[in-house]
Structure 1
Amino acid sequence: MLTRKQSDLLEFIHRRIKADGVPPSFDEMKDALDLRSKSGIHRLITALEERGFIRRLAHRARALEILKLPEAMETRLASENTAPTAPVVDPKPSAMPAEIAAMAMNLPVMGRIAAGVPISAISEISHEITVPGSMLGQGSHYALEVRGDSMIQAGINDGDVVVIRETGTADNGDIVVALIEDQEATLKRFRRNGKRIALEAANPAYETRIYSDDQVRVQGRLVGLIRSY
Structure 2
Amino acid sequence: MLESPSYPAKLTARQQQILELIKTAIAHTGAPPTRAEIATELGFKSANAAEEHLQALARKGAIELVSGTSRGIRLRSEHLQSINDLRGRQLAQPFSVVNQLMLPLIGRVAAGSPILAQEHIDQIYHVELGLFQSPPDYLLKVRGMSMRDVGIIDGDLLAVQSTQEVKSGQIVVARLGDEVTVKRFIRRQHLIELHPENADYKTIVVEPGDAFEIEGLAVGLIRNSFKA
TM-score in terms of structure 1 length: 0.49
Larger radius of gyration: 2
User: Which structure carries more strand by proportion?
Assistant: 1
TM-score in terms of structure 2 length: 0.49
Higher relative contact order (CA 8 A, sep 6+): 1
